[in-house]
Structure 1
Amino acid sequence: MTTLKDLYVEELQDLWSANDQMSDVVSAMADKASDSKLVDRLSSAKDGIDQHTRLLKSLLEDRGADVKKEHCKGMEGLVKEARKHALDTDMSGAALDVAIIAQYQRLCHYGIAGFGTTKAFAEALGNDEAARKLDGALDNIYESDDFMTELAERSRNLDAMA
């Protein structure tokens, strides 16, 4: 890598891998969650993640880059932690839901960082259309993260204390 274009392409490829990994673990967390609002949001989030992956692939195509993913070791670590703390556990009910929310938000924050960086690269490269599309994906991720914070603060954290 020697140019910003190279960094941009690598970031798109890395995010593709991150999204694929996140999609799988979010689906597994949705299967284990007990709160119907949480299950619905996780299912919706999985659909959004898959939609963002299609966006990443199209941005690679638009750039004339190799449409391939670059294994994301950062997300690999976060997924491993999510499995350990939210899936491979003896918790259940509200306590498990709280753990799922916490792990999901960690995954989201990684996505926010990646999509935000990629958007900045697109802007610097003068690719306003790609920046606009990445900004839309960022809005979706922020919205999902905010929903999880609200769900935790208004119900699941309180329920888990019981």
Structure 2
Amino acid sequence: MALNSLHDVYHDQLQDLYSSCKQSKPITSDLAEAATNSELKEALEAGVEGLETGMNDIAELCKRHDIDPDGEFCKGTEGLVKEARAHGIDADFGDNDTRDAMIASQYQRLAHYAIAGYGTLLAFAKRIGATDDVATLQKCLDSAYDGDRRMTEIATGGLNRAAAA
């Protein structure tokens, strides 16, 4: 697809973020499985649910704009997923607290990518007059921020302290 207008860029980025969510969901599930801290595990499981909701919401927006949600593959997320697997799942850790701290950091990298994507799409939707999309994108952005804030609270509330001990 030629990117000749902000509408075209918006459609491209909807597809890219759909791909990002699709790739992030399995690794987030794997991170949840590897986590030993119950609060971290619950937050990651909620993250999986949030990714599923985000995928459904973006798929609906793509349908509204008559584009295939699977029309792009997000290489940025591909790299983040490889990093999360290498550093949060496959790495050797001396203890579970250290692994949990790493898992939280890897999840937050994925969340920050989603925040950037949703924020950009929201700005584009407002600019091109896609007013029917704005509330959905705002909801997705708020959800991504909420997941990131929750992870920060878990990490700073004791997870990192336990890993440093």
Q: Report the TM-score range of the alignment, normalised by the length of the smaller protein.
A: over 0.9
1:78-97 superposed Cα distances (whole Å, 9 cap, x missing partner)? 11111111011122411011
Alpha-carbon offset, residue 129 of structure 1 = 2.3
Whether the 8 Å CA contact 2:58–2:69 is kept in 1: the answer is no
* Residue aligned with 2:67, SS: coil
Alpha-carbon distance between aligned partners in 2 of 1:95 and 1:133, rounded to the nearest angstrom: 37
Whether the 8 Å CA contact 2:14–2:69 is kept in 1: the answer is no
- Residue 140 of structure 1 is matched in structure 2 by 143
Give the one of 51, 54, 64 matched to 1:52: 54
- Residue 153 of structure 1 is matched in structure 2 by 156
1:115-134 → structure 2 map (5 Å cutoff): 115-134=118-137
TM-score (norm 2): 0.95
Would the alpha carbon gap of residues 103 and 67 (structure 1) be closer, same or farther in structure 2, given more than 3 Å must change? closer
- Residue 42 of structure 1 is matched in structure 2 by 44
Structure 2, gaps ≥5 residues long: none
- Residue 21 of structure 1 is matched in structure 2 by 23
1:10-58 superposed Cα distances (whole Å, 9 cap, x missing partner)? 0010011110110010000000000111111101110110110011110
* Residue aligned with 1:105, SS: helix
* Residue aligned with 1:66, SS: coil
1:79 equivalent in alignment to 2:118: no
CA RMSD of aligned residues (A): 0.9
Whether the 8 Å CA contact 1:115–1:137 is kept in 2: the answer is yes
Residue 117 of structure 2 aligns to which amino acid in structure 1? G
Alpha-carbon distance between aligned partners in 1 of 2:27 and 2:18, rounded to the nearest angstrom: 15
Structure 1, gaps ≥5 residues long: none
Whether the 8 Å CA contact 2:28–2:48 is kept in 1: the answer is yes
Structure 1 residue runs of 4 or more that deviate by more than 3 Å after TM superposition? none
Alpha-carbon distance between aligned partners in 2 of 1:161 and 1:65, rounded to the nearest angstrom: 48
- What is the total number of aligned residue pairs between the two structures? 162
* Residue aligned with 2:52, SS: helix
Residue 35 of structure 2 aligns to which amino acid in structure 1? A
Residue 159 of structure 2 aligns to which amino acid in structure 1? R
TM-score (norm 1): 0.97
Residue 98 of structure 1 aligns to which amino acid in structure 2? A
1:77-116 → structure 2 map (5 Å cutoff): 77-91=79-93, 92-116=95-119
Residue identity (%): 39
Alpha-carbon distance between aligned partners in 2 of 1:96 and 1:126, rounded to the nearest angstrom: 45
